[in-house]
A and B are shown apart, each in its own frame.
Chain A
Amino acid sequence: MKYESQKIARLYFIAALGLFAGQILFGLIMGLQYVIGDFLFPAIPFNVARMVHTNLLIIWLLFGFMGAAYFMIPEESETELFSPKLAIVLFWVFLAAGVLTVLGYLLVPYARLAEMTGNDLLPTMGREFLEQPLITKVGIVIVALGFVFNVGMTVLRGRKTVISSILMIGLIGLAVMFLFSFYNPENLVRDKFYWWWVVHLWVEGVWELILGSLLAFVLIKVTGVDREVIEKWLYMIVAMALITGILGTGHHYFWIGAPEYWQWLGSVFSAMEPIPFFMMTLFAFNMVNKRRRDHPNKAAVLWAMGTGVMAFLGAGVWGFLHTLAPVNYYTHGTQLTAAHGHMAFYGAYAMVVMCIISYAMPLMRGRIANSNRSQVTEMWGFWLMTVSMVFITLFLTAAGVVQVWLQRYTDTPLPFMIVQDKMAIFFWMREVAGVFFLGGLCVYLWSFFIGTDAEAARDSAKVLVKSSTKEYSKETAIA
Chain B
Amino acid sequence: MNETFTKAMARNIFYGGSLFFILVFLGLTYHTEKVLPERDHRENITEQVVHGKKVWEENNCIGCHTLLGEGAYFAPELGNVYKRFGNSKAAIMAFIKYRPVDGIKGRRSMPQFNLSDEELEAVAEFLKWTSEIDTSNWPPNIQG
Contacts and interface: CB of A to CB of B under 8 A. Distances in A.
Interface in B90-136: 101-109, 111-113, 126, 129-130, 133-136
Contacts of B7: 162, 228, 231-232, 235
B29 to A, nearest CB: 8
A114 B55 CA distance: 11
A451 interface: no
Interface in B31-87: 31-33, 35-36, 39-40, 42, 45, 49-50, 53-54, 56-64, 66-77
A98 B141 CA distance: 41
A51 B63 contact: yes
B1 A188 contact: no
Interface in A323-381: 329-330, 332-335, 337-338
Residue of A114, A189, A238, A249 with most partner-chain B CB within 10 A:
A189
A120 to B, nearest CB: 9
Contact of B53 (A36, A42, A47, A186): A186
A431 interface: no
B36 A254 contact: no
A238 B31 CA distance: 27
Residue of A30, A111, A262, A335 with most partner-chain B CB within 10 A:
A111
A41 B140 CA distance: 32
Contact of B140 (A233, A242, A259, A408): A408
Contacts of B32: 193, 253, 258-259, 262
A184 B73 CA distance: 23
Given A238-B14, A329-B138, A416 B68 contact: no
A329 B140 contact: yes
Interface in A240-260: 242-243, 246-247, 249, 252-260
Residue of A231, A238, A242, A337 with most partner-chain B CB within 10 A:
A242
Give the secondary structure class of A's interface: helix
B27 to A, nearest CB: 11
Given A37-B109, A38-B107, A188 B58 contact: no
B88 interface: no
A2 interface: no
Given A265-B28, A333-B71, A46 B76 contact: no
Contacts of B133: 188-189, 256-257
Contacts of A414: 143
B30 interface: no
Nearest to B144: A416
Contacts of A413: 140-143
Contacts of A36: 106
A189 B143 contact: no
Given A50-B72, A413-B143, A246 B113 contact: no
Contacts of A188: 40, 53, 67-68, 126, 129-130, 133
Contact of B134 (A236, A257, A333): A257
Contacts of A191: 53
Contact of A189 (B31, B36, B66): B36
A246 B135 contact: no
Contact of A127 (B14, B62, B74, B134): B62
Contact of A255 (B53, B59, B60, B68): B68
A332 B39 CA distance: 20
B17 A239 contact: yes
Contacts, number: 228
A446 interface: no
A239 B56 contact: no
B53 A51 contact: no
A258 B107 CA distance: 36
A160 B143 CA distance: 56
Contacts of A231: 7
B51 to A, nearest CB: 10
B25 A232 contact: no
A256 B53 contact: no
B15 to A, nearest CB: 8
Interface string A213-243: 0000000000000001101110110110011
A263 interface: yes
B111 A257 contact: no
A239 B18 contact: yes
Contacts of A247: 21, 24-25, 28
A123 interface: yes
Given A37-B108, A413-B143, A125 B13 contact: no
Given A235-B14, A415-B143, A187 B40 contact: yes
Contacts of B49: 186
Given A41-B103, A232-B10, A257-B133, A243 B72 contact: no
A157 interface: no
Contact of B21 (A126, A242, A255): A242
A4 interface: no
A188 B42 CA distance: 10
A239 B5 CA distance: 15
Interface pairs A-B: 6 shortest CB-CB: A47-B63, A126-B57, A333-B69, A37-B108, A235-B10, A255-B138
11 contacts: A114-B58, A119-B58, A126-B56, A188-B67, A235-B13, A242-B17, A243-B18, A254-B136, A255-B136, A256-B70, A332-B138
Given A114-B57, A126-B59, 12 more contacts: A38-B103, A126-B61, A188-B53, A188-B130, A189-B40, A189-B133, A192-B68, A232-B5, A243-B18, A246-B25, A247-B24, A410-B141
